């Protein structure tokens, strides 16, 4: 039988030809990292067999309570990844695994936890080649014993010791030569017990070069990394401040092996986690749960638990990824990519601050460009002269010389690959920042107030026609419309349903009634006074609408006063409906994608155009989506460019869709949503945050929409 001593190692590039395997070598090498995944081609051979290998050299250590690779502290910007495909289930073709890796790299992700088993070896080969840090997790989970209070859990049963050790041995022996693998993980949600402790002991003896991870060892008695799932921001800060009474935990590096539950619309609050990771050196990042929605293709939609007649299932709880089942990125992935971008560009006193947040490499591989836009229209562009910045450093560079513009203008600076990389072409943007140049001028309304007329059983004011009984706008420039009127409801998100939705329903916010108190049409203004409230509830919202005709536009001032006990609201604004032919949207404001108060870092100010159908985010389980923020003006038009225009004073949020919020709330699959004859438009002054309460913390206090006295102004006119 051949032994390790019979095998010979060859690494031609390093001048190694027939070195006995297992004996030490001292070689001048370039270290492997996720940012610079340097591999050396080699081979292992015996008289009977030759095996090609790709070798990466790097060190892993825990030093001064920090996880370090090649002597440098890491910040893990990671995701959890299950092996899943919408057609083939757990059998993931190599080209799909490659697509995952490329998509991760292009969205600034640098790490993967292989939840909850060692993946197909092909995936780890790709991580070695393209550069991703990996927590390689043993195939162990017993969390079904949790509801039984862990009675007879195998982790504490001596009869299971050999089986536990066998699983760990197979994991380590198979993957021990992967440079991408930096900690070993004993498994997932298996409580604790001596069998797990034995796994950790065996692993350290077999491979002393990597630390051991396991979140279930809450006392950290046999692991090398303090790990938590779904810790709140406050808990992470406490850990960063080393306030833990457990001395062992306090002195270990901390990871969130799961956080930011990406179920449906969300997660919110990722920026605040990043700020904590950067503020406290012992808090070294984490892994968003999770990478991919686990939907299965079923005709014209993706199916989930319960769609196949099974009695026991998790419903749509398996639909919780940053990408949809077909690997289409969700808005959550765009938000995560922006928050974890390795180059940060910000306004600073005296110029533009450019910071390098890579762990190892400089910015020598990047080109910095800028574009000046006025009212969302490009004016001029150029190259920003940024010196090479080393990892962890920043520089201040002067603003480029810019021409004067007549309106609101923004400078957008981007950092992009100068040359193509293995994972992205030249010009791929890894980071960007948007800097204000000149503020928006004050809104100027046209001169000349128009009086209110009564004609043909209607009220007429400027370009608008109103119902004399309800005071509601029924036509704008000859186009039939419905509304606008106050609305506070949104189709609940997965996170809403886990935190606030029951409170909102108990308050009756989904079934508001509008009682008209008075319609005053005697002067130049049309004033409609209402009380908006759910039936059989003590609380409501006194809402006054004041319409004024100014030139070719209608100005609407909305004043909202709480009447009775107050809590939180899903959103606060107006809803209206316009002809379905108005299917094209153009706006100046935040975009191009959706954004919410605690998930808006990826939105930039610009001029954008989308079809109404393209404004929708097709979450596998339908829910609130598509909100655009900080909109200065919006045009909804038909194929000939005719339609309506809405102006902010100064800005508003909007959604536009071909179904009502009630229809969206009732839908369980995207195929349930059927386009109607109208475009339903919401115009909001505020939205409640998203949070990640579907499995994790709820909405942070600063993003909770509290009922309070509010006033806002919008303009309405005809788009030609």
Active site residues: 189, 258
- E-strand spans in 223-303? 226-229, 254-259, 283-288, 296-298, 301-303
Question: What's the order of all strands across the beta sheet hosting 377-383?
Answer: 377-383, 366-374, 409-417, 429-438
**N- to C-terminal Cα separation, the chain:** 85
DSSP string, 24-89: ------PPP-SSS---EEEEEE-SS-EEEEEE----EEEETTEEEETTEE--EEEEE----BTTTB
Nearest Cα residue to 365 out of 424, 433, 449: 424
DSSP string, 635-672: EEE-TTS-EEEEEEEEEEEEEEESS-HHHHHH-SSGGG
Nearest Cα residue to 403 out of 374, 375, 377, 368: 374
What Cα–Cα distance (Å) separates residue 679 from each residue in 84, 139, 334, 633, 682?
36, 50, 27, 17, 10
Alpha-carbon distance of 510 to 496, in angstroms, equals: 13
Answer whether 294's CB lies under 8 Å from 321's CB.
Answer: yes
Answer whether 149's CB lies under 8 Å from 156's CB.
Answer: no
Nearest Cα residue to 190 out of 162, 218, 171: 218
Side-chain half-sphere exposure of 464, counting CA atoms within 13 A: 31
Cis peptide before 555 (omega within 30 of 0): no
Side-chain half-sphere exposure of 39, counting CA atoms within 13 A: 20
- Please identify which residue in the block is written with the tokens 């536990």: 164
H-helix or E-strand spanning residue 604:
strand 604-611
- Please identify which residue in the block is written with the tokens 């989308």: 610
- E-strand spans in 138-207? 181-185
Alpha-carbon distance of 605 to 627, in angstroms, equals: 14
**Coil, strand or helix: which one is 220?**
coil
CA 280 to chain centre: 22
Q: What share of the chain is helix, strand, coil (3-state, %, to 5)?
A: 20, 40, 45
Nearest Cα residue to 691 out of 265, 258, 79, 236: 265
Q: Per-residue b/e over 351-383, b at no fewer than 16 CB within 10 Å?
A: ebbbbbbbbbeebebbbbbbebbbbbeebeeee
Alpha-carbon distance of 412 to 258, in angstroms, equals: 33
Nearest Cα residue to 202 out of 168, 173, 251, 225: 168
Residue 453 in tokens: 């007329």
Side-chain half-sphere exposure of 174, counting CA atoms within 13 A: 19
């Amino acid at each position: 039988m051949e032994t390790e001593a019979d095998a010979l190692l060859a690494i031609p590039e390093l001048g190694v030809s027939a070195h006995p395997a297992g004996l030490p070598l001292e070689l001048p090498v370039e270290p492997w990292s996720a940012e610079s995944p340097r591999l050396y081609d080699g081979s292992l051979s015996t008289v009977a067999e030759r095996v090609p290998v790709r070798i990466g050299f790097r060190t892993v250590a825990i030093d001064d309570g920090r996880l370090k690779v090649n002597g440098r502290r890491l910040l893990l910007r990671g995701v959890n990844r299950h092996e899943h495909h919408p057609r083939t289930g757990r059998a993931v073709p190599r080209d799909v695994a490659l697509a995952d890796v490329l998509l991760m790299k292009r969205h600034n992700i640098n790490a993967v936890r292989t939840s909850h088993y060692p993946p197909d070896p092909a995936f780890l080969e790709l991580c070695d080649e393209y550069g991703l840090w990996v927590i390689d997790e043993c195939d162990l989970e017993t969390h079904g014993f949790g509801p039984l209070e862990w009675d007879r859990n195998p982790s504490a049963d001596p009869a299971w010791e050999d089986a536990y050790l066998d699983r760990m041995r197979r994991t380590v022996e198979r993957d021990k030569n992967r440079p991408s693998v930096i900690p070993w993980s004993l498994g997932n949600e298996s409580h604790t017990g001596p069998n797990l402790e034995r796994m950790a002991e065996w692993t350290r003896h077999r491979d002393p070069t990597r630390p051991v991870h396991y979140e279930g060892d809450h006392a950290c008695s046999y692991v090398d990394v303090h790990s938590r799932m779904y810790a709140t921001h406050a808990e992470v800060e406490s850990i960063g401040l080393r306030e833990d009474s457990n001395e062992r935990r306090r002195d270990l590096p901390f990871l969130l092996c799961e956080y930011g539950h990406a179920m449906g619309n969300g997660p919110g609050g990722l920026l605040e986690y990043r700020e904590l990771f950067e503020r406290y050196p012992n808090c070294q990042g984490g892994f968003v749960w999770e990478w991919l929605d686990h939907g299965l293709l079923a005709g014209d939609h993706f199916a989930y638990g319960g769609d196949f007649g099974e009695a026991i299932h998790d419903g749509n709880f398996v639909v919780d990824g940053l990408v949809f089942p077909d690997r289409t990125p969700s808005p959550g992935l765009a938000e995560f990519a922006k928050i974890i971008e390795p180059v940060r560009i910000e306004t600073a006193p005296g110029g533009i601050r450019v910071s390098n947040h890579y762990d190892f490499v400089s910015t020598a591989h990047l080109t910095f460009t800028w574009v000046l836009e006025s009212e969302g229209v490009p004016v001029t562009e150029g190259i920003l002269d940024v010196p090479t910045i080393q990892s962890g450093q920043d520089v201040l560079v002067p603003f480029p010389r810019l021409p004067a513009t007549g309106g609101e203008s923004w400078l957008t600076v981007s950092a992009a690959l100068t040359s193509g990389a293995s994972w992205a072409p030249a010009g791929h943007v890894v980071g960007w920042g948007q800097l204000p140049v000149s503020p928006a001028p004050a809104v100027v309304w046209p001169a000349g107030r128009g009086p209110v007329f009564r004609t043909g059983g209607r009220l007429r004011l400027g370009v608008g026609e109103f119902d004399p009984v309800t005071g509601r706008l029924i036509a704008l420039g000859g186009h039939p419309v419905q509304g606008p009127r106050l609305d506070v409801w949104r189709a609940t998100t997965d996170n809403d349903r886990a935190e606030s939705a029951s409170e909102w329903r108990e308050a009756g916010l989904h079934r508001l009634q509008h009682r008209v108190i008075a319609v005053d049409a005697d002067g130049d203004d049309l004033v409609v006074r209402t009380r908006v409230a759910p039936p059989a509830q003590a609380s409501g919202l006194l809402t006054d609408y004041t319409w004024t005709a100014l030139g070719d536009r209608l100005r609407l001032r909305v004043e909202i006063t709480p009447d009775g006990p107050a809590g939180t609201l899903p959103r606060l604004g107006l809803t209206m409906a316009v002809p379905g032919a108005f299917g094209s949207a153009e706006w100046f404001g935040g975009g191009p994608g959706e954004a919410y108060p605690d998930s808006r870092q990826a939105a930039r100010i610009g001029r954008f155009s989308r079809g109404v159908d393209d404004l929708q985010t097709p979450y596998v389980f339908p829910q609130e989506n598509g909100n655009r923020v900080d909109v200065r003006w919006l045009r909804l038009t038909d194929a000939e460019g005719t339609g309506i225009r809405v102006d902010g004073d100064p800005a508003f949020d909007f959604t536009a869709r071909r179904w009502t919020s009630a229809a969206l709330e009732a839908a369980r699959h995207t195929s349930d949503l059927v386009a109607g004859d109208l475009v339903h438009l919401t115009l909001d002054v505020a939205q409640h945050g998203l949070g990640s309460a579907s499995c994790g913390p709820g909405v942070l206090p600063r993003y909770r929409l509290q009922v309070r006295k509010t006033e806002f102004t919008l303009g309405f006119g005809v788009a030609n």
